[in-house]
Amino acid sequence: MADAAIIVEGARKKYGGKAGKHALDGLDLTVARGTVHGVLGPNGAGKTTLVRILSTLLRPDSGHVEVAGHDVVRQAYEVRLRIGLLGQHAALDEELGGRQNLELFGRLYHLGARHARVRADELLERFGLADTGRKPVKQYSGGMRRRLDLAASLITDPEVLFLDEPTTGLDPRGRVEVWSAVRSLVGGGTTVLLTTQYLEEADQLADRISVVDAGRVIADGTADQLKALTGGDRIDVVLRDAGQLGAAVALLPVPKDDVPVDPDRRLLSAPVTDRMAALSGVVRALEEAGIEAEDVALRRPTLDEVFLQLTGRDERVKEAV
């Protein structure tokens, strides 16, 4: 594919020798240039291993991996010229200040002393860190640290940017800060590969999403396509009395197994085909049976539901509920 910024074919990586576990088990992935691609998966799915291979930090055991037109193993240097990396943990010098960090990295990208300084100032300004002065990074808040880390990964305007769980451990405010920074990048034509365990994050930022589990891609598509996999819309009903949930489920014209209930929230959630007919039908049926409802709402499935269904962990979650 000529316009692909990232091509992964059959990538395998095993840790810990022969008896080890495959972190990547024949993973395939293609990311079109200039798009944001979300890689969604639970802990241990192989997301970080994938990013470390793409960013030349780790060699795959086998498979073909190409970033920005260059092989990550044989042409690591060429790849490094063209990528930016925001790892799961801040890759910054904690003792130094923000400007010192960016200047250091700028010099190591061989921008030259003057240009490195100018670039550092630009980025500090752009990420709202211009007034941090000499304060060492270890005194930064989580959100500030992440923004500086992001700034550091953008020093050379990379063709491809890797973001490995960019908002893990951030408070909601820090998360929104990082999201808006990522969105502003995409306009500039950068290809972004983003891993996350937050479905909302993939939904918010990514053009396409690959769902990864046990080192393989198990589903691929836009957020809407993935949501459609679970069979369309759902209706949520919150009852006044949790004891009537069973009776309410029995009223519905769908198999009982397709209707998960949550007694704590007095909630049932059923798949629907015709939105309006379902809404009026449910309200009428509840009224006739004398079951009081507090709330009835139609909605699209969440990525959570898609995800749980795809990774086959639905059962466990139900038990937990």
Partner 1 sequence: MTAYALTDSWTMTRRELAHWARQPVQVVVNLIFPVMLLLMFGYLIGGGRGLTGSYIDYLVPGMLALTMAFGLEGTMIAVTQDLNKGVIDRFRSMPMANGAVLVGRSVADMLQSALALFALMGIGYALGWRAEGGPGAFLGAVGLLLLFRFAMLWIGIHLALVAGKPEMVQAVQILVWPIGFLSNAIALPESMPGWLGTVVEWNPMSQTATAVRELFGGTGTDGVGAAIVWPLVLLAVFFPLAVRRFGRLSR
Residue with smaller CB distance to partner 1, 97 or 301? 97
Q: Of the candidates 21, 59, 240, 265, which one interacts with partner 1 according to CB under 8 A?
A: 59
Residue with smaller CB distance to partner 1, 79 or 278? 79
Stretch that binds partner 1, among 51-59, 201-209, 244-252, 287-295 (CB under 8 A): 51-59
167 near partner 1, rule: CB under 8 A: no
The enclosing H or E element of 50 equals helix 47-54
CB of 110 to partner 1, least distance (A): 6
CB of 49 to partner 1, least distance (A): 12
What single DSSP character describes residue 140? S
The CB-based long-range contact list for 17-25 (8 Å cut-off, 24+ gap) reads 22/214, 22/215, 23/49, 23/215, 24/49, 24/50, 24/53, 24/60, 24/63, 24/215, 24/216, 25/214, 25/215, 25/216
152 near partner 1, rule: CB under 8 A: yes
User: What's the start-to-end Cα distance of the chain, in Å?
Assistant: 45
CB of 108 to partner 1, least distance (A): 4
Q: Of the candidates 26, 69, 128, 136, which one interacts with partner 1 according to CB under 8 A?
A: 136
Distance in angstroms (rounded) separating the CA atoms of residues 101 and 147: 12
Q: Of the candidates 1, 2, 77, 264, which one interacts with partner 1 according to CB under 8 A?
A: 77
CB of 74 to partner 1, least distance (A): 13
Helix, strand, coil shares of the chain, percent, nearest 5, are 40, 25, 35
The enclosing H or E element of 99 equals helix 98-108
Stretch that binds partner 1, among 77-85, 218-226, 273-281, 291-299 (CB under 8 A): 77-85
Contact characters 88-107, partner 1, x per CB under 8 A: -xxxxxxxx---x---xx-x
Please give the sequence-ordered ranges of beta strands (E in DSSP) within 90-175, or none if there are none: 160-164
56 near partner 1, rule: CB under 8 A: yes
Q: Of the candidates 87, 142, 166, 215, which one interacts with partner 1 according to CB under 8 A?
A: 87
58 near partner 1, rule: CB under 8 A: yes
Residue with smaller CB distance to partner 1, 142 or 301? 142
DSSP sequence for 266-320: TEEEEE-SSHHHHHHHHHHHHHHHT--EEEEEEEPPPHHHHHHHHHT-HHHHHHH
Residue with smaller CB distance to partner 1, 83 or 237? 83
* Contacts with partner 1, residue ranges (CB under 8 A): 55-59, 77, 80-81, 83, 85, 87, 89-96, 100, 104-105, 107-110, 136, 152-153
